[in-house]
């Protein structure tokens, strides 16, 4: 029943936001959207949804794919944002063709959409469009433009973002509710207006070109989707519901693209590798997926297809065949992290622990602070050299913002090392990252009660506990 309480609490806060904005009757200076909901409030709302999605296992928690989508998003953001807005990008375990932008710069791309794209520029076009929704603050502006509605209606527009994510469900269902909440009522709820869509297209296309992608990719991708699904009566096509495509909109996007430079080669090995990996991760029939790569390898990119085949072979228990492919891939493309991790994972499956450790040690030396590589290495090290695992993960944590699963991994490393105090401390940080402050306080308290705690750690734990308690 906790989720019902959370919904009521969030609705209460939303009412406060709206009531405060209306009651103050502020003059029209700056961005009027700030009178309804501030950027900090947007960030908190978006973070809450992501926490709920993560707790429902709706977010694909794979270091390789997560790093790729974040790096791709950052590449685009660098050409449209002044750095004042933080952005986080996520792959959602949902086969439907959809993407969404949450308040505060949280952007989700469904796995089904990514697999439908045919080039990195097409994928980037969707991200660029969603980024524009955030930078232009379309959700907050939609709320502001509907101030003539009742206070409760305005609050509901904010809370609609959260209702689906607060329910005790998981997988496609929860993401469907989140996106449905965005699209529930095109004019009166939080769904983006037609003008918002045109604005996001205009800014997104410019961003694509500036970042070195094909500006034509946006119109071509949405035209493709409209052609394939737009007339379907039996299938609800989520992307077209939340982002309605018209012939005028496609024509305008195409016309804008013609006036922009196109320096893109429209090919990326990283994109193809990610797509192959995601196809395997989301497969419900590995044998069929293997045959897909096998057939396609006859006429398509041999490198990414070989990688996909090797991943499938490992899952099918044909590790000797997978090992040979991964060895050849690493030999021919030493710079590709995914191939090194694939080889390491295969060595582990055939119980060649020493070979895996040597490979990862060499790889980490060549590519220091590479997140997927370090995580894969440390997962083995915890059972072999917990102290080194703790050291490497701590260095990573102090330099690169970690995911909750990475924080939990360092807690495991500290515990395996015998550092019980820091193990509890890291678990506290893990619960903070997942939005559970009560459990975070419990873990921080246990850290302080640990025997043989040194003064430096004690001061650090006390300061963090005080900080958490103020927000609980």
Q: Angle 337-349/302-315 helices, nearest 10 degrees?
A: 20
Q: How far apart are CA 266 and CA 336, in angstroms?
A: 19
Q: Give the residue among 147, 137, 189 at the shortest CA–CA distance from 21.
A: 147
Count Cα atoms within 13 angstroms, Cβ side, for 174: 22
User: For residues 442 and 425, is the Cβ–Cβ distance under 8 A?
Assistant: no
- Considering just the CA atoms, what is the radius of gyration of the chain in Å? 24
| SS3 (DSSP) at 456 | helix
Q: How far apart are CA 208 and CA 216, in angstroms?
A: 9
Q: Give the residue among 124, 40, 41, 42 at the shortest CA–CA distance from 89.
A: 124
Cα pseudo-dihedral 216, 217, 223, 227, rounded to 10: 140
| SS3 (DSSP) at 28 | coil
Which pair of tokens denotes residue 92? 């959602």
The DSSP result for 357-380, as a single string, is HHHHHHHHHHSTT-HHHHHHHHHH
CB < 8 Å & 24+ apart, contacts of 186-191: 186/244, 188/146, 188/149, 188/153, 188/157, 189/156, 189/157, 189/160, 190/139, 190/142, 190/143, 190/157, 190/158, 190/160, 190/161, 191/142, 191/242
The answer to whether 130 is a known catalytic residue is yes
E strands within 12-72? none
The answer to whether 449 is a known catalytic residue is no
User: Out of 67, 122, 130, 272, which one is annotated catalytic?
Assistant: 130
Q: How far apart are CA 311 and CA 290, in angstroms?
A: 9
User: For residues 282 and 95, is the Cβ–Cβ distance under 8 A?
Assistant: yes
> 187 burial class (0-12, 13-18, 19+ CB within 10 angstroms)?
exposed
User: Out of 67, 201, 272, 419, which one is annotated catalytic?
Assistant: 201
DSSP 400: S
**Known catalytic residues?**
130, 201
């Amino acid at each position: 029943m906790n989720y019902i309480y959370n919904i009521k609490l969030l609705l209460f806060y939303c009412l406060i936001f709206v009531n405060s904005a209306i009651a103050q009757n502020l003059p029209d200076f700056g961005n009027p959207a700030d009178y309804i909901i501030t950027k900090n409030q947007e960030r908190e709302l978006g973070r809450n949804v992501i926490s709920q999605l993560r707790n429902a296992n709706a977010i694909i928690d794979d270091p390789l794919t997560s790093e790729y989508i974040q790096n791709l998003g950052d590449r685009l953001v660098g050409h449209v944002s002044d750095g004042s807005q933080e952005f986080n990008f996520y792959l959602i375990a949902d086969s439907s063709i959809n993407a969404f932008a949450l308040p505060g710069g949280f952007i989700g791309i469904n796995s089904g959409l990514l697999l439908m794209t045919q080039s990195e520029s097409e994928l980037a076009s969707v991200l660029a469009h969603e980024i524009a929704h955030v930078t232009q603050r379309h959700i907050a502006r939609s709320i502001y433009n509907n101030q003539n509605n009742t206070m409760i209606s305005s609050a509901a527009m904010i809370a609609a973002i959260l209702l689906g994510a607060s329910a005790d469900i998981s997988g496609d269902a929860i993401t469907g509710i989140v996106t449905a909440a965005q699209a529930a009522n095109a004019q009166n709820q939080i769904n983006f207006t037609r003008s918002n869509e045109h604005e996001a297209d205009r800014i997104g296309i410019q961003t694509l070109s500036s970042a070195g992608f094909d500006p034509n990719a946006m119109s071509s991708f949405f035209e493709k989707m409209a052609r394939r699904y737009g007339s379907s009566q039996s299938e609800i096509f989520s992307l077209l519901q939340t982002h309605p495509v018209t012939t005028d909109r496609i024509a305008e996007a195409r016309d804008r693209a013609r006036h922009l430079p196109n320096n893109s080669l429209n090919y990326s090995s990283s994109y193809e590798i990610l797509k192959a990996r995601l196809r395997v991760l989301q497969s419900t029939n590995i044998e069929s997926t293997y045959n897909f790569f096998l057939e396609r390898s006859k006429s398509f990119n041999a490198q990414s297809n070989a990688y996909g085949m090797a991943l499938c072979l490992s899952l099918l228990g044909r590790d000797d065949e997978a090992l040979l492919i991964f060895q050849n891939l690493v030999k021919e493309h030493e710079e590709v992290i995914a191939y090194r991790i694939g080889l390491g994972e295969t060595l582990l499956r055939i119980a060649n622990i020493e070979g895996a450790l040597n490979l990862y040690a060499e790889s980490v030396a060549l590519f220091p602070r590479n997140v997927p590589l370090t995580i894969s290495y440390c997962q083995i090290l915890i059972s072999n050299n917990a102290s080194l695992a703790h050291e490497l993960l701590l260095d990573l944590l102090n330099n690169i913002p970690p995911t909750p699963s990475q924080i939990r991994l360092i807690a495991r490393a500290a515990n395996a090392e015998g550092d019980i105090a820091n193990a509890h401390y890291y678990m506290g940080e893990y619960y903070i990252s997942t939005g559970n402050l009560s459990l975070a306080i419990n873990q921080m308290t246990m850290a302080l009660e640990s025997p043989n705690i040194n003064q430096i750690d004690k001061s650090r734990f006390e300061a963090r506990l005080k900080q958490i308690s103020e927000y609980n």
